[in-house]
């Protein structure tokens, strides 16, 4: 069963996503980011694997808040900057480039 509400900006009906759907959409983004890390040096691959594992753990619990908080910490903190820069230099998606999409999914 789909729930709908009016988009306040234009009166356009939009679907309200269930928590499960939101988790799935975020994990699709995560997989795109992790895919890019697989071609990198060992430190990039390890970071991608750690990111994927942590996000899968949150996804299993359908913990959207923790998923967004973890991504925000990576995007804003020093830990994710080197990996983000490596991905960005190759035109690949990174947590920094995708964080706004992730936040929007949770807000819908």
Based on the structure, what is the number of domains in the chain? 1
Q: Is 4 within the bounds of a domain?
A: no
Closest CA to 58 of 49, 50, 67: 67
| Domain assignment present for 3 | no
Each residue's pLDDT expressed in tens, for the chain with a length of 108 residues: 344 444 444 554 555 678 999 999 999 999 999 999 999 999 999 999 999 999 999 999 999 999 999 999 999 888 778 999 999 999 999 999 999 999 999 887
- The token pair at 32 is 């795109």
Count how many Cα atoms sit within 13 Å of the Cα of residue 1 in the half-sphere of its side chain.
1
Indicate whether 11 belongs to any domain.
no
Structural domain that includes position 51? 18-107
pTM of the model: 0.81
């Amino acid at each position: 069963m789909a729930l709908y509400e009016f988009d306040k900006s234009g009166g356009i009906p939009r679907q309200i996503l269930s928590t499960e759907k939101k988790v799935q959409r975020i994990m699709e983004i995560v997989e795109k980011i992790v895919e890019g890390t697989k071609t990198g040096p060992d430190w990039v691959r390890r970071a991608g694997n750690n990111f994927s594992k942590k996000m899968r753990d949150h996804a299993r619990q359908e913990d959207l808040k923790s998923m967004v908080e973890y991504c925000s910490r990576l995007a804003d903190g020093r830990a994710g900057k080197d990996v983000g820069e490596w991905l960005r230099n190759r035109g690949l998606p990174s947590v920094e480039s995708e964080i706004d999409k992730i936040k929007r999914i949770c807000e819908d």
